[in-house]
Amino acid sequence: MPFSSKTASSAPVYRVDKFAVPVPAREEFLERVSATHETLRQQPGFVRDVILEQASGPGTFNFVTLVEWESPDAIERAGEAVARMHAQTGFDRHEMIARLGIAADIANYRALAI
């Protein structure tokens, strides 16, 4: 449903993460994305997700993940759940990104009614 048809607090929010992942880092990166998305899929307010790998074209980012959330509150709670999961497993995403030479562009989006 377009953003303008609901209040901001109840409108869907889309988390879109784009990554430029060097070939040698692909497997470790995908293992971590898989584990993170398993946690996300269990959170209240999760609607759906997709993990995309670039198949053609000149784009910089060869992986894109998209998660749809029911509301901004849901995405905030999910972020807290992921942070807890990372802490429990001793995972440091910043360290992995730096070590593997991954570039990331991460943001939340809302649908437009145009």
What element of type H or E holds 37? helix 26-41
Q: What is the pLDDT at residue 1? A: 38
Rounded distance, CA 61 to CA 102, Å?
Answer: 10
Rounded distance, CA 48 to CA 70, Å?
Answer: 10
Q: What is the pLDDT at residue 86? A: 95
Residue 62 lies in a domain: no
Residue 29 lies in a domain: yes
Residue 10 lies in a domain: no
Q: How does pLDDT run along the chain (114 residues), one tens digit per residue?
A: 343 444 556 689 999 999 999 999 999 999 999 999 999 999 999 999 999 999 999 889 999 999 999 999 999 999 999 999 999 999 999 999 999 999 999 999 999 988
Q: What is the pLDDT at residue 77? A: 95
Contacts of 69 (CB under 8 A, 6+ apart): 12, 13, 14, 15, 45, 46, 47, 75, 78
Q: What is the pLDDT at residue 8? A: 54
Query: Left (φ > 0), alpha (ψ -120 to 50) or beta: where does 59 sit?
Result: beta
User: What's the number of domains the chain is made of?
Assistant: 1
Domain range enclosing 81: 21-57+69-102
